[in-house]
Amino acid sequence: MITSSRLDPPVLVQPHARPSRPPALVPCWYIACASDTLRRGGVIRFDLGGEPIVLFRGRDTGVVRALPAHCLHQGVDLAHGDVVGDCLRCPLHHWEYGDRCERIPGVEGMPVRGRKPRFTTAERFGMVFLHPGSDPAGPPPGFSVADSELYVVPGRPVEIDCPWYVPVANAFDMTHLETVHRRKLASAPVITNPDPLSFNVRYSTRVIGDGWSDRTMRFLSGDEIRVNVTCAGGTMVVVESLVGRRRGFLMVSLRPTRTGVSIVPFFGVPRTATGSHLLSARVSAMLFSAFLRRDVKPLRGIRFPANYVDGRDSTIDACYRFLCQLPEHQQEEIA
């Protein structure tokens, strides 16, 4: 266990003490979209790193599958295809795909059927999760309470021109809590690594800002906000907070795109017998969104220097070391 404070004296760290950059794509779960935006028979196209992908929901079973966006035959964009049963059909020559090619008109024996799926999909918290590769180490991340105990509200995705790891590291930047978010540390951060793919920090703050969201948080919190934030798998930030007696839950997916990163959040609050969670969820979403918006403009176009180190903030420094040691996704060989 490590404790740190933004008031620690500067520590000189040699540049060669760390890898220079985190990997371009980590083999972990990413949030693709909210489940209700992909109806049966629907198709969505998006990027994961530099690769275009199509996501579709089968008409028969409602199962979501993901594929590289271009047909194996002539490279037709499958986003223009039709969902037939539980397969996506190429609009030009009617090759049909599940999580791999399932049928070629006029061809028996399916010579490409043995290919491994390139992606794995799952649904949790009313969101569609995507994992590169066919063998995830575990399910999409969750919280410290059962899924059934939470009421979840999807947030609005935000696109930013910066590497995926910058917003992740920013979530552990203790100095900017005061300069940008107007929160002052009330206790030194406590850093742990629950497992090789997780980085966790616990701390508490008090509100020193005077904006509407600051005044609201000060009123709700009694001037103490307890935060438990985890980087799960590398590109998923999971936040649990205690604002007064109110518990809040936030998950943010940082999905690398061709031009930067797509930030996809969702918010959760505990369900109540009276139904008050419906209002609490809206309030939490508003407050969390206001908090996140303060980071969007400063992060646009940001590029960490080569061999970045931060001797003045040991928390973000430890986080960046963790990110640099994450594994790079290796595309599976096609059988």
Domain boundary at 89, 108, 132, which?
A: 132
Helix axes 212-221, 277-299, angle to 10 degrees: 130
Amino acid at 215: R
- Looking at residue 181, its pLDDT comes to 80
In a domain, 112, yes or no: yes
CA–CA separation, 66 and 123 (whole Å): 13
Higher pLDDT, 16 or 131: 131
Instruction: Kindly state whether residues 156 and 280 are assigned to the same domain.
Output: yes
Higher pLDDT, 116 or 197: 197
Percent of the chain with pLDDT over 90: 62
What is the mean predicted confidence (pLDDT) over 236-249?
Answer: 90
- Spatial contact of 154 and 251, defined as CB atoms under 8 Å apart: no
- Spatial contact of 223 and 204, defined as CB atoms under 8 Å apart: no
Q: What band does 19 get if pLDDT is binned at 50, 70 and 90?
A: low
What's the predicted TM-score (pTM) here?
Answer: 0.87
Q: Is 22 a residue whose pLDDT tops 50?
A: yes
What is the mean predicted confidence (pLDDT) over 209-220?
Answer: 74
Burial 273-302 (b: 16+ CB within 10 A, else e): eeeebeebbeebbebbbbbbeebeeebeee
What is the mean predicted confidence (pLDDT) over 19-31?
Answer: 90
- Spatial contact of 299 and 170, defined as CB atoms under 8 Å apart: yes
- Looking at residue 212, its pLDDT comes to 75
Mean pLDDT estimate for the chain: 87
The DSSP letter of residue 12 is -
Q: What residues contact 81, with CB distance under 8 A and at least 6 apart?
A: 43, 54, 88, 89, 90, 91
Strand 43-48 to strand 82-84: parallel, antiparallel, or no bridges (unpaired)?
unpaired
Q: What band does 13 get if pLDDT is binned at 50, 70 and 90?
A: very low
30-57 pLDDT tens trace: 999 999 999 999 999 999 998 999 999 9
Instruction: Kindly state whether residues 239 and 155 are assigned to the same domain.
Output: yes
Number of H helices, E strands in the chain: 5, 20
Instruction: Kindly state whether residues 106 and 171 are assigned to the same domain.
Output: no
Helix (H) or strand (E) holding 249: strand 246-256
Instruction: Kindly state whether residues 271 and 296 are assigned to the same domain.
Output: yes
- Looking at residue 18, its pLDDT comes to 53
Q: What residues contact 234, with CB distance under 8 A and at least 6 apart?
A: 22, 26, 28, 168, 197, 323, 326
What is the mean predicted confidence (pLDDT) over 70-80?
Answer: 96
Instruction: Give the domain range for residue 269.
Output: 2-13+147-324
104-158 pLDDT tens trace: 998 876 655 546 789 999 999 999 999 998 889 899 999 999 999 999 999 989 9
Q: Is 311 a residue whose pLDDT tops 90?
A: no
Tokens of 331: 């595309």
- Looking at residue 42, its pLDDT comes to 97
What is the mean predicted confidence (pLDDT) over 201-215?
Answer: 83
Instruction: Kindly state whether residues 112 and 232 are assigned to the same domain.
Output: no
- Looking at residue 3, its pLDDT comes to 37
Write the CATH number for 73.
2.102.10.10
> What stretches of 98-161 adopt beta strand conformation (E)?
101-103, 119-124, 127-132, 150-154, 158-160
CA–CA separation, 153 and 11 (whole Å): 42
The DSSP letter of residue 324 is H
For the chain, what is the domain count?
Answer: 2
CA nearest neighbour of 142 among 127, 159, 157: 127
Q: Which residue has the tokens 């809206």?
A: 282
- Looking at residue 9, its pLDDT comes to 35
CA–CA separation, 121 and 96 (whole Å): 18
Q: What band does 10 get if pLDDT is binned at 50, 70 and 90?
A: very low
Instruction: Kindly state whether residues 302 and 224 are assigned to the same domain.
Output: yes
Q: Which residues pair with 131 in a beta bridge?
A: 120
Q: What band does 332 get if pLDDT is binned at 50, 70 and 90?
A: low
Instruction: Kindly state whether residues 227 and 156 are assigned to the same domain.
Output: yes
Q: Is 267 a residue whose pLDDT tops 50?
A: yes
Tokens of 223: 């001037």
